[in-house]
Copies of this chain bind each other. A is one copy, B any other.
Amino acid sequence: MRDRDLATSSSPARATSRRPPYSIDVILFTPRGAQLAVLCVRAADPRSRERWQLPTDWAAGDETLDVAARRVARAAAGVEPTWMEQVGAFADGQRHPGGATLTVAFVAVVPATVLDVANPDVAWFSVGEPPTLPPRHRVMLDAALETLRTRMDYAPIAFKLLPAMFTLSELQQMYEILLGRRLHKASFRRALQGAVLVEPTEEWRSEGRGRPAQFYRFAPRKRRQGRRPVRFDLL
- A75-B8 contact in complex given A88-B88, A92-B64, C-beta closer than 8 Å: yes
Could you tell me if A57 and B19 are in contact, using CB atoms closer than 8 angstroms?
A: no
The interface size bin for chain A is 35 or more
- A12-B58 contact in complex given A6-B74, A19-B18, C-beta closer than 8 Å: yes
Q: Is the interface of A mostly helix, strand, loop or mixed?
A: loop
- A7-B4 contact in complex given A17-B19, A88-B88, C-beta closer than 8 Å: no
Q: Is A102 interfacial (CB-CB < 8 Å)? A: yes
Whose C-beta in chain B lies nearest to the C-beta of A67?
B92
Q: Is A177 interfacial (CB-CB < 8 Å)? A: no
Could you tell me if B6 and A9 are in contact, using CB atoms closer than 8 angstroms?
A: yes
Q: List the interface of chain A (C-beta within 8 A of B).
A: 3-10, 12-13, 15-22, 41, 44, 55, 57-66, 71, 74-78, 86, 88-93, 101-102, 104, 119, 121-122, 150
10 A-B residue pairings within 8 Å (CB atoms): A7-B55, A7-B78, A8-B41, A9-B75, A15-B58, A61-B101, A64-B92, A65-B89, A65-B92, A150-B150
